[in-house]
Amino acid sequence: MSLQINTNVAAINAQRNLAVTNRKLGGLFEQLSSGLRVNRAADDAAGLAISEKMRAQIGGLRQGQRNAQDGISMLQTAEGALSEVHSILQRVRELAVQAGNTTLSSTDRQAIGEEMVALRSELDNIANRTRFNGQQLLTGEMAVSVDTVASSADTVTAVQNGATVSVANIDVSRAQGSTTYTASAAGAVMTLSTTTGGFTRSETFTVQDMGANGSQALSFQQLGVTINLTHDANAGNVTGATIAAAFNTEDIVTSASSNAVFRVGAEVGDDIALQFADMRATALGDANKLNVLIATNNAVSTSLEADTLLQSVDVAIAQVSTFRAKLGAAQNQMGTAVNSIAVAVENLTASESRIRDADIAQVSSELVSRQIMQQAGVAVLSQANAAPQSVLRLLQG
């Protein structure tokens, strides 16, 4: 065995192994202090990439869960207001039934009319006051509107016998957004249809003849579209067949830009959309809206007027009931989304934890082993540093 004093190979080897042990011991201390197995990309490059993707998805899902909860609060605000709207309409209906009795005097009818006017005014007040985070929910601001650029049916006119029937307006407040409705005609029967996801829905309406200064509402209630027509002052009649033919192949395109959209997931398209209908007196009722029928305290001055109002109120009650049902269904849908997101977050968090979190029991066991190796390495390095001193004894001899 040779002896050298210039190069202590044993000390170099002991120092190298001790450095390796110290580095691993430092990593164990880092894992124990942070609780993470992966603190930097060098610890596990693939694991870090997968973990960061999971963290992004978990964060998005948690925010989607909060969005859904905020959406439920928004819908509850609107639905709570509509509960009182229903009460008002029920009272107006009772008064209309009362006004249909011939035992009432004109003074009695005016008294009933006064209450009706007050109730109709409160309908508008409720709609205007119902806000969530500054957004009005019941005034039609978040309702579907007609895309006047893409639509052609809004400019249709029917001309016959020197008279003209034209479109006053098209009400799509209860229609689907981003949808194209196409009209077709067979005689006086007009059909409105739309195709979504390969499924076609159609509804028919028999158009009536119109005379001077007349009006008519082509109501497609299931599709949520109403076309309001007006006849000019000329005496000539325009037949229903002529009117229907004028709409043949014409389109009504709705815009969804004002619909309420609730992002209840982590990705684009994880949305729940809802159209908030206009619940003011100008939008409630049949072709005869409540704001017109209850304009003054003479609203039920005759039994005939009371009958007309009664029919319109029945339609208004049905409209409010339908919208409340939509709100309730959307609340249930969002409640289900909250529950499903909670399950997804739990499972993804567990998966991310298995990749990134440190196993403290395993790290603690390894720490003890590394500490023993460190102590052994220091002892060996001390012995290796002392080995060259044996050369001095050879020189002294």
Nearest CA among 69, 70, 89 for reference residue 324: 89
Residues 6+ apart with CB under 8 A from 251: 150, 151, 152, 153, 180, 181, 182, 183
The whole-angstrom separation of Cα 143 and Cα 127 is: 13
Dihedrals φ, ψ of 87, to 5°? -60, -40
The whole-angstrom separation of Cα 23 and Cα 34 is: 16
The whole-angstrom separation of Cα 153 and Cα 159 is: 15
Confidence of residue 221 (pLDDT cuts 50, 70, 90): confident
What pLDDT digit, counting tens, does each position of 100-151 carry? 998 989 899 999 999 999 999 999 999 999 999 988 888 877 877 888 889 9
Partnered with residue 228 across adjacent β-strands are: 169, 217
- What Cα–Cα distance (Å) separates residue 329 from each residue in 72, 142, 348? 11, 18, 28
Confidence of residue 27 (pLDDT cuts 50, 70, 90): confident
The whole-angstrom separation of Cα 8 and Cα 280 is: 96
End-to-end Cα distance, the chain? 18
What pLDDT, on the 0 to 100 scale, is given for residue 271?
Answer: 81
Confidence of residue 154 (pLDDT cuts 50, 70, 90): very high
Partnered with residue 323 across adjacent β-strands are: none
Which of the two residues, 178 and 328, has the higher pLDDT score?
328
Per the CB < 8 A criterion, the answer to whether 390 and 4 are in contact is: no
Nearest CA among 46, 44, 13 for reference residue 27: 44
Nearest CA among 301, 332, 287, 321 for reference residue 100: 301
Helix (H, G, I), strand (E, B) or coil at 255: strand
What pLDDT digit, counting tens, does each position of 237-295 carry? 999 999 999 999 999 998 765 678 788 888 877 888 787 888 999 889 888 889 999 99
The whole-angstrom separation of Cα 56 and Cα 339 is: 19
Nearest CA among 139, 171, 115, 169 for reference residue 280: 139
Rg of the chain's alpha carbons, rounded to an integer?
39
Q: What single letter denotes the amino acid at residue 203?
A: E
Q: What single letter denotes the amino acid at residue 254?
A: T
Taking CB atoms within 8 Å and a gap of at least 24, the contacts of 388-395 are 388/3, 388/4, 388/5, 388/8, 390/3, 391/3, 391/5, 394/3
What pLDDT, on the 0 to 100 scale, is given for residue 144?
Answer: 77
User: What is the pairing mode between strands 131-132 and 135-136?
Assistant: antiparallel
Stretch among 202-206, 234-238, 393-397 having the lowest mean pLDDT: 393-397
pLDDT of 1 higher than 70: no
The whole-model pTM stands at 0.64
Which of the two residues, 392 and 146, has the higher pLDDT score?
146
What pLDDT, on the 0 to 100 scale, is given for residue 58?
Answer: 92
Confidence of residue 94 (pLDDT cuts 50, 70, 90): very high
Per the CB < 8 A criterion, the answer to whether 324 and 330 are in contact is: no
Neighbour tally for 280: CB within 10 Å: 21
Neighbour tally for 336: CB within 10 Å: 12
Neighbour tally for 267: CB within 10 Å: 11
The whole-angstrom separation of Cα 89 and Cα 285 is: 11
The whole-angstrom separation of Cα 18 and Cα 23 is: 9
pLDDT of 396 higher than 80: no
The whole-angstrom separation of Cα 28 and Cα 370 is: 9
What pLDDT digit, counting tens, does each position of 159-215 carry? 999 999 999 999 886 677 788 999 999 999 999 999 987 889 999 999 999 999 999
Mean pLDDT rounded to a whole number for the chain: 88
What pLDDT, on the 0 to 100 scale, is given for residue 258?
Answer: 64
Dihedrals φ, ψ of 300, to 5°? -125, 45
